[in-house]
Amino acid sequence: MNTQPTKIERRIRLAGILLIAGLLVELVTLSWGRPTAFLFCCWVAR
């Protein structure tokens, strides 16, 4: 049985990891009331 992830599965995994990282940054900036937090959040959303 082939257990190697396919190309699309590898891409989904990478996209998921990047999205989780972005969401964690957004979560951190929510408790941070300075202009840099605003910039970080905009950058993540982009």
Partner 1 sequence: MTGNTTILVAVILFSIVLIACLVLRPSITATRGGKMLAFVALLIFPALAGGMGVNRHIERSKSTNFCLSCHVMEDYGKSLRVDDRSFVPATHFQYNLVPRDQACYTCHTDYTMYGDFNSKLRGLKHVYAYYLGKPSQPIKLYRPYNNRECLHCHLGARSFEESEAHTKDPQALSRMKLNQLNCSTSGCHNIIHNVGQLKDATFWKEQEK
> What does the binding site for partner 1 look like in residue numbers (CB under 8 A)?
5, 8-10, 12-13, 15-17, 19-20, 22-24, 26-27, 29-30, 33-39, 41-42, 44-45
Min CB(22)–partner 1 separation in Å: 7
Q: How far apart are the first and last CA of the chain?
A: 40
Sequence-distant (≥ 6) Cβ neighbours of residue 40 within 8 angstroms: 25, 29
Min CB(5)–partner 1 separation in Å: 6
From CA 22, how far away is CA 26, in angstroms rounded?
6
Min CB(19)–partner 1 separation in Å: 5
